[in-house]
Chain A
Amino acid sequence: MNESGISSIRLLLLGAGPRLAGAALVIAALWAGFFWAIATPGAL
């Protein structure tokens, strides 16, 4: 792999772990909200 490729990958990976973990949490909360919205009984 050439130097540009390595620096591109490094650019993506730096700090990616916490960002992806945060994103996973947000997505989990979002879908939990979705199931709350469609599953809870209501008048309409």
Chain B
Amino acid sequence: MWDLFFQPFADFGFMRRALMGCFAISIGATPVGVFLMLRRMSLTGDAMAHAILPGAAVGFLVSGLSLGAMTIGGLIAGMAVALLSGFVTRVTALREDASLAAFYLISLALGVLIVSTRGSNVDLMHVLFGTVLALDNAALILLCSIASVSVLTLAVLFRPLVLECADPQFLRSVSGFSAVTHFTFLTLVVLNLVGGFHALGTLMAVGIMILPAAAARFWAVSIGGMIAAAIAVAMLSSLIGLLLSYHYSLPSGPAIILVAGVFYGVSLVAGPVGGLVARGLPRRSLEI
């Protein structure tokens, strides 16, 4: 039992740092994922994850695999794509999903082009799939800081965010927080994706954000309950994924996301709130 579950973390510092990095992403990114899902913006998260790639690639071009340069580059690129797609939607006939899709595809192609012309295939794999087992102290500080900022911001803006999910028109009519809330939320999305990309890569970072949120939808009714369930699913996925990766020599990022996928599958079938089994059970006549 000890060998199976605890020995990797007791013996190896890189495993502890990987676990803590994943826990930090779970705490910071999954609540953002819950709000993305409730706002029907899950695919926006995916698009934004790809959109940070050229910025990170330019950071890589300027200073190699530097944490700071890639983080700042990713943040600038992500925010630029979010703002540009919003601008295009307002001034042209193109809908937001189409303009976002156009910008993120251009960004993805540009990012891969930059990394592959100046770096090796190993560098490209590092950017696309992350290096969760190679997180150093600086990366861990970045991930914990992003998680702290996210948790604090969500605690302050919780009610405006909930209102914007349920009834944006009402929020606009009762307060001046609508635009601030939307912009802060987009910043949180980009910030968490940039943090997640260091550990899980641009392709996998959105997985730890959306899959636990989607699974939590089947276990809780309230938004607070969904956030708690999503964080629990993400942390368990991280732990089990890392252990599977350690014992069976699997790539750790995909292992973590696949375990989250299994949790989603189980929730889909057995979740008490709208899961397949719960829907199939006969209800009493006056039960909603």
Give the total number of A-B pairs whose CB atoms are below 8 A apart: 88
CA distance A23 to B35 in the complex (A): 17
Which of these, B11, B140, B152, B174, contacts A37 with CB under 8 Å?
B140
Asked whether B175 lies within 8 Å of A42 as measured between CB atoms, the reply is no
Asked whether A44 lies within 8 Å of B14 as measured between CB atoms, the reply is yes
Q: Does B246 contact A (CB under 8 A)?
A: no
Asked whether A22 lies within 8 Å of B155 as measured between CB atoms, the reply is yes
Interface centre among A16, A30, A31, A41 (most CB of B within 10 A): A30
Q: CB-nearest residue of chain A relative to B10? A: A42
Which of these, A19, A30, A41, contacts B148 with CB under 8 Å?
A30
Which of these, B13, B27, B152, B157, contacts A42 with CB under 8 Å?
B13
Given A15-B159, A20-B155, A30-B24, are A44 and B12 neighbors across the interface (CB < 8 Å)?
Answer: yes
Asked whether B155 lies within 8 Å of A11 as measured between CB atoms, the reply is no
CA distance A42 to B14 in the complex (A): 9
Given A30-B148, A44-B12, A44-B13, are A4 and B174 neighbors across the interface (CB < 8 Å)?
Answer: yes
Asked whether B156 lies within 8 Å of A12 as measured between CB atoms, the reply is yes
Asked whether A30 lies within 8 Å of B23 as measured between CB atoms, the reply is yes
1/0 contact trace for B125-157 toward A, CB 8 Å? 000000000000100110010011001101111
Asked whether A12 lies within 8 Å of B160 as measured between CB atoms, the reply is yes
Within 8 A of A (CB), among B26-74: 27
Asked whether B177 lies within 8 Å of A38 as measured between CB atoms, the reply is no
Q: How far is the CB of B32 from chain A (nearest CB, A)?
A: 14
Q: CB-nearest residue of chain A relative to B154? A: A23
CA distance A2 to B16 in the complex (A): 52
Asked whether B10 lies within 8 Å of A34 as measured between CB atoms, the reply is no
CA distance A31 to B28 in the complex (A): 13
Within 8 A of B (CB), among A13-36: 14-16, 19-20, 22-23, 26-27, 30-31, 33-34, 36
Provide the residues of chain B in CB contact with A15, threshold 8 Å: 158-159
List A residues at the B interface (Cβ < 8 Å).
4-5, 7-8, 11-12, 14-16, 19-20, 22-23, 26-27, 30-31, 33-34, 36-38, 40-44
**Can you add 9 more A-B contacts, CB < 8 Å, to A31-B148, A34-B24, A37-B140?**
A4-B176, A11-B159, A11-B163, A15-B158, A15-B159, A19-B156, A26-B27, A37-B19, A43-B11
13 A–B pairs (Cβ distance < 8 Å), ordered by A: A5-B176, A7-B174, A8-B176, A12-B157, A15-B158, A19-B158, A27-B152, A36-B20, A37-B140, A42-B10, A42-B16, A43-B12, A43-B13
